[in-house]
Amino acid sequence: MSALAHPLAPDERAVSARDLAWLIGSLLLVIAPHSMRAPWWLTALTLCLFAWRYSYALARVKLPSRWLVLGVAALAMLGVWIEYRTLFGRQPGILLLSLFAGLKLLETRSHRDAAVAAFLGYFLIITNFLYTQSMPTALLMCAALFSITTTLIGFSAPQRAPRANARTAALLLAHAAPAALVLFLLFPRVQGPLWGLPQDAYTGMTGLSETMSPGNLASLAQSDAIAFRAEFEAELPPPALRYWRGPVLWDFDGRTWSIGTGPLVEFEPPQGGRATYRYAVVLEAHNRHWLFALETAASLPERARMRFDGQLISTTPVRNRMRYQLTSVIAPEQAEESGGVLRRALRLPPRANPRTVELAGQMRAGAASDEEVLIRAIDFLKAGKYTYTLEPPLLGLHSVDEFLFSTKAGFCEHFASAFTFLMRAAGIPARVVTGYQGGELNPIDRVFTVRQSEAHAWVEVYLSNRGWVRVDPTGASVPGRIESGLARSVPAGEPLPLMMQQRLEWLRGVRYQWEALAHKWNLWVLGYSPERQRDLMSAIGMRDADWRALTASLFSILGLITLGLLAWSLRHLVRQDPVQKAWGAFCGKLAAQGVKRAPQEGPRDFALRAARTLPAAAWTILRIGALYIALRYGARARAKGVERLKRLVRGLRLA
Amino acid sequence: MIAGFIDRRPKLANWLYGFTPPERGTVVLVHRRVYIVPARLGWIFGATLAILLVGSINYALSLGFALTFLLTGMGLAGMVHTARNLARLAVSAGRAEPVFAGESAQFRLYLDGRAAFDRPAILARHLGSGAQLVVDIPSGALVEVVLAVPAERRGWLPLGRVMLETRFPLGLFRSWSYVEPDARCLVYPRPERSPLPPRGADTAAGALRSPVPGNDDFSALRGYQPSDSPRHVAWKAVARSDDMLTKQFTGEAAAELWLDWRLLPAALGLENRLSRLAGWVLAAEREGAQYGLRLPGVEIAPERGDTHRAACLQALALYQETTA
């Protein structure tokens, strides 16, 4: 029996040009987003492979020999290696995979090979999510999923019209949805990763870095990407207080400020303070340890520590979107800083920026206190007619001197760097703080959005009687920056990120709607984590649900869903034809009066005989007979007639 | 191996397959009789799901989980759909025209979808011979499947067990069911070409009674009957009138043509003698002769025409040697 060719076995069925066209179309949908990241020659090669295979199908000739295919594969791998110097990273790995999809097609003869290529297509869908899980990507991938499924159905039913196959695919996906939802919610989630990830797994994330040199904040500020979102419980802080503290930079080598090393400290909630804000932050992945807090953090999120300089540090790098609750307080009391820290806050590279050092000397001379030096420095910046620009001129060896005395144009990192240097040279401990300043409230969902374009750098100086005090030299010389944001502070004509541009007011409403939706998507779909699962379980009454409880409930619900589907599949089959049912009821009523239909008796003869036997109801009986014949054997008038037949039979009174 | 084990135990097979063959009338494939197992592609699909799941966990991809679980749900739904493609299908057998041994019996099966949906790609396979056909059953339609089963031996050929199988829609599962409808085909003996025996052969002696051929003496014209040989049509008479007329011959054709079992040597063996007789029946019919058939215990009076021919051939097909 098994020796016979089996016409349903996928090994036995040759791929037709139609199957191939569907398969290629589906694969193109899946790899389209990758092509934007791939080198052009790889995309072109993959397309050529598809076209090559399809031409074979049209010409109905034998496929190329295995050796030729292997040769192309080897060449492609060599090309990828030359491009990336490795084959195993995320990017080269995925590109090779999409290339192999094309190569697999070149040796696809039977439906079995084609089905394996379709499964590869399913797998390629997930590779897109490594780069972005946004709603548009999800929609495109839904289309790809639908297309691949239609393709697979086409393999099983080669004679069927593609439209019918697409309908079946839609039905299958609709039937899959309940089970998918239950699995999504209840499948026991574990915190990944299970093993080491490739070196380049987390590249391409934007954000602040451990260092700051002239120009790098300005380039970050041209990105529209969202840094984080915050939801405040009560009112928002006023614009002047919207300083989101990030990495604190201590060490300066004459050009670059860096974060340096520093101990983590035991967290102690600060005392006093002017105002308290409670909020939740949804931080985008940036592959670093630090978290952002408004001004001074007065609480510590889960799995986070605090550095000696007040910076919040996550125990693991933020590689996925992360949500944390936080309380902040404005200007609390400060403990006295240790001498070691203050000495570090005074350190300067030797022989750098002589003019600035000289200026600091002049400011210090004759000043009664540190505060007076500070005021003189701020006045100096205010009077200096400095320009705030996203395109700062390049700086040479003595970067601070050049900025302060000759170029006089820069972005916030130039101001912060120069001011900190000036303070240290004048003997006042100072440090650079990077983070974000500003943010935008979405009126739709009252979520506060902070973008990369709001990246900022400012200074904290240590005054012996007040502790660390924030000074924003950018704000001092370009006051509009803090009050009204980046867009109104840079000269007109400079390239601003699209979202910051003023003239697209009409786009704003659409954008707010879209971002509110995207935030919900992030929170509820993408942010469904082990913690959220625990919350959901306790919300429905399963406190402390471990994986066993989850698996048990999961399988019982899946069983119920399958039973439901089975019942559905029987529904169409068991249900009797309504016309036949009404006719059966009619025959039953007549039989109760002694007029039994003989098995060979047709409906017309039976109705005539019954009408003669029961003359009182003759008219109705004849109408029912005629209607039944019309519905059963006629070509037209379905739904209405069925209803009338039912009504007539129900209303038939014989006794 | 398992299949062989089951097939050697009919009672076990009947219990397992849910019916006792042969089944009369219309057979409805209730769920109890529809089996389903993952096909090889199903296992590959499962492996793909496992890889997707591990990848989703490793990279904490929410949409990866969503995709994996949607595909899992689709596998489940696909299983139900595959079973549905066969479930409640109504199978009935049609008439199979008699054939000669060595030819193929054309068994007709009617597959009645009885559903508001179509049932694509259903394989009907005759397990005994491997005769098979893939059909699509449109919604609410009745589809005829003709299975050409080789007929080796004369006599009644029962259809035997037929497997209906489908893998629609995804090919991940293989669902099948067995039916054994009460259908049989009459198989005539394999006809052997040989010259007709002489007319009026003496049945008693086995010697020739009269060498006179039966269609010499023209006696009258009668109305044409469709079974009449064209050589006996009175073409000249037809040319004169519009009626088709057939020349009738009297017959000391009384020297009738008897196709007699005893004309053949016993050494030939039972089957060969029956084959020779079947060949004679065909030849006699072709000549338009009146012929009768004599077998031990069976005698069919001389006659001609399709019905007569069929009766003779059936007698030959079903002849059982009673005496040892």
Q: Is A5 exposed, middle or buried (0-12, 13-18, 19+ CB in 10 A)?
A: exposed
Out of B51, B65, B168, name the one closest to residue A156 (CB).
B168
Question: Across the interface, do B74 and A176 touch by the CB < 8 Å criterion?
Answer: yes
Closest to A73 in 3D by CA, of A106, A109, A100: A100
A63: buried, middle or exposed (CB in 10 Å: 19+, 13-18, 0-12)? Answer: middle
Query: Which residues does residue B295 pair with via DSSP β-bridges, in sequence order?
Result: B298
**pLDDT (0 to 100) of residue B269:** 87
Q: Closest by alpha carbon to B19, among B29, B4, B5?
A: B29
Q: For A91-188, where are the E strands, in sequence order? A: none
Contacts of B81 in chain A (CB under 8 A): 168, 171-172, 175, 569
Torsion of CA B41, B42, B43, B45, to 10 degrees: 90
Q: Which residues of A touch B117 (CB under 8 A)?
A: 572
- Residue B3: its pLDDT value, please? 63
Q: Give the integer Cα–Cα distance in Å for A43 and A48.
A: 9
How far A324 CA lies from chain B's nearest CA (Å)? 18
> Nearest CA to CA, how far is B99 from chain A (Å)?
25
Closest to A284 measured CA to CA, from A522, A497, A533, A528: A522
User: How far is it, in rounded angstroms, from Cα A98 to Cα A111?
Assistant: 20
- Higher local confidence (pLDDT), B233 or A346: A346
Beta strands A296-297; B298-303: pairing state: unpaired
> E strands within A467-545?
467-471
Nearest CA-CA distance, residue B2 and chain A, Å: 13
Least confident range from A55-59, B215-219, B220-224: namely: B215-219
Buried/exposed A131-168: b ≥16 CB within 10 Å, e otherwise: bebebebbebbeebbbbbbbbbbbbbbbebeeebbbeb
For an interface test with B, which of A1, A202, A569 has the most B Cβ atoms less than 10 Å from its Cβ?
A569
- How many angstroms separate the CA atoms of B174 and A146, rounded? 22
Select the residue of A7, A197, A320 nearest B132 (Cβ to Cβ).
A7
> Which single residue is written with the structure tokens 């005395």?
A405
Per residue in A389-410, pLDDT (tens digit) is 878 888 888 889 999 998 888 8
Task: Report helix angle B62-86 to A547-574, nearest 10.
Answer: 30
Question: Distance from A560 to chain B by nearest Cα, in Å?
Answer: 12
Identify the band that residue B200 occupies on the pLDDT scale cut at 50, 70 and 90.
low
Residue-wise pLDDT for B147-190, tens only, equals 999 999 999 999 888 999 999 899 999 999 999 888 899 999 99
B171 contacts in A (CB within 8 Å)? 10, 111, 115, 152, 155-156
Q: What is the spatial distance between Cα A577 and Cα A516, in angstroms, rounded to a whole number?
A: 50
User: Residue A439 and residue A431: Cα distance in Å, rounded?
Assistant: 24
Q: How many CB pairs under 8 A join A and B?
A: 198
A183, A190, A565 ranked by CB distance to B69: nearest: A183
Mind listing the pLDDT tens digit for each residue in A9-28?
887 788 888 899 999 999 99
Binned at pLDDT 50, 70 and 90, residue B43 comes out as very high
Residue A471 Cα, gap to closest chain B Cα (Å): 40
Question: Average pLDDT of chain A?
Answer: 85
* Residue B322 in this model has a pLDDT that exceeds 80: no
Across the interface, of A4, A179, A319, the residue whose CB is closest to B73 is A179
User: CB distance B76–A558 less than 8 Å?
Assistant: yes
Instruction: Please give the ipTM for the structure prediction.
Output: 0.79
Say if residues A131 and A37 touch (Cβ distance below 8 Å). yes
Q: Which residue of A has its CA nearest to B165?
A: A8
Kindly tell me the burial class for residue A363, based on how many C-beta atoms sit within 10 Å of its own C-beta (0-12, 13-18, 19 or more). buried
Q: Which residue has the tokens 């998507």?
A: A521
pLDDT tens figures, B95-127: 889 999 999 999 999 998 878 888 999 999 998
Strands A257-258 and A211-212: antiparallel
Question: How confident is the model at residue B254, as a pLDDT?
Answer: 44
Task: Between A212 and A143, name the one with better pLDDT.
Answer: A143
Percent of chain B with pLDDT over 90: 38
Over range A481-495, report the average pLDDT. 61
Sequence letter at residue B215: N
A224 in Cβ contact with A498 (< 8 Å):
yes
Check residue B186 and report its DSSP letter: E
Residue B195 has a CB neighbour count (10 Å cut-off) of: 8
Collapse the DSSP code of A573 into the 3-class scheme (helix H, G, I; strand E, B; otherwise coil) and give the result.
Answer: helix
pLDDT band at B210 (very low <50, low <70, confident <90, very high): very low
Closest CA in chain B for residue A126: B64
Q: Which residues of B touch A184 (CB under 8 A)?
A: 65-66, 69
Q: How far is B69 from chain A (nearest CA, A)?
A: 5
Determine whether the interchain pair B165/A112 forms a contact, defined as Cβ–Cβ distance below 8 Å: no
Mutate: best of A565, A568, A573, partner B, most B CBs <10 A: A573
For residue B124, give the H/E element and its range. Answer: strand B119-126
For A310-340, give the DSSP string. S-EEESS---S-EEEEEEEESS---PPPPHH
- Chain segment A328-349, per-residue pLDDT in tens: 998 888 878 888 888 999 998 8
CA quadruple A536, A538, A544, A547: dihedral, nearest 10: -30
8 Å CB contact of B167 and A201: no
- Positions of A annotated as catalytic residues are 412, 456, 472
Mean pLDDT of A611-630: 88
Q: Who among B41, B45, B59 is closest to A193 (CB)?
A: B59
User: Taking the alpha carbons of A90, A91, A92, A98 in that order, is the dihedral positive or negative?
Assistant: positive
How far apart, in Å, are the Cα atoms of A592 and each of A399, A595, A596, A622, A651?
108, 7, 8, 18, 15
**B33 neighbourhood in chain A, CB within 8 Å:** none
Burial tier of A294 (Cβ tally within 10 Å: 0-12, 13-18, 19+): buried
Q: Looking at A429-438, B63-72, B172-181, B208-217, which range is the least confident one?
A: B208-217
Direct distance between the N- and C-terminal alpha carbons of chain B, in angstroms, rounded to an integer: 39
Cβ(A388)–Cβ(A489) below 8 Å:
yes
Alpha carbons B271 and B292: distance in angstroms, whole number:
19
* Angular region, A343: left φ>0, alpha ψ -120 to 50, beta rest: alpha
- Cβ-Cβ contacts under 8 Å, B60 against chain A: 191-193, 319-320, 529
Interface test with A, best of B6, B34, B61 (most A CBs within 10 A): B61
User: What are the CA-CA distances from residue B18 to residues B10, B15, B163, B177 (Å)?
Assistant: 12, 5, 14, 10
Q: CB distance A168–B81 less than 8 Å? A: yes
**Which helix (H) or strand (E) is A351 found in, with range?**
none
**Across all residues in chain B, what is the average pLDDT?**
83
Q: What would the pLDDT profile of B282-313 be if each residue is shown by its tens digit?
A: 999 888 888 999 888 888 998 888 899 999 99
Give whichever of A117-131, A269-283, A464-478 has the largest mean pLDDT.
Answer: A117-131
Q: Residue A169 pLDDT > 90, yes or no? A: yes
The reply to whether residue A119 touches residue B45, judged by beta carbons under 8 angstroms, is yes
Q: Crossing angle, helix A66-84 and helix A90-106, to 10 degrees?
A: 160
Show residues of chain A in contact with B80, CB under 8 Å: 175, 562, 565-566, 568-569
Q: Do B120 and A178 touch (CB under 8 A)?
A: no
Using DSSP's 3-state secondary structure scheme, residue A655 falls into: coil
Residues in chain B with CB shorter than 8 Å from the CB of A570 are 31, 87-88
All residues of chain B having their beta carbon less than 8 Å from the beta carbon of residue A205 are none
Instruction: Name the residue with tokens 């100086």.
Output: A461
Contact A69, A103 (CB under 8 A): yes
pLDDT score of A168: 94
pTM tops 0.90: no
Higher pLDDT, residue B93 or A196 = B93
Note whether B120 contacts A569, CB cutoff 8 Å.
no
Helices A162-186 and A530-539 sit at what angle, rounded to 10 degrees?
80
Contacts of residues A381-384 at CB distance under 8 Å and 24 or more positions apart, as own/partner, are: A381/A415, A381/A419, A381/A473, A381/A476, A381/A477, A382/A476, A382/A477, A384/A408, A384/A477
Percent of chain A with pLDDT over 90: 23
For residues B28 and B44, what is the distance between their CA atoms, to the nearest angstrom? 33
> pLDDT-based confidence at A494, cuts 50/70/90?
low
| Closest Cα in chain A, distance from residue B160 (Å) | 15
Burial class (CB in 10 A: 0-12, 13-18, 19+), A493: exposed
> Which residues have CB under 8 Å from A490's CB, separation 6+?
A388, A389, A390, A496
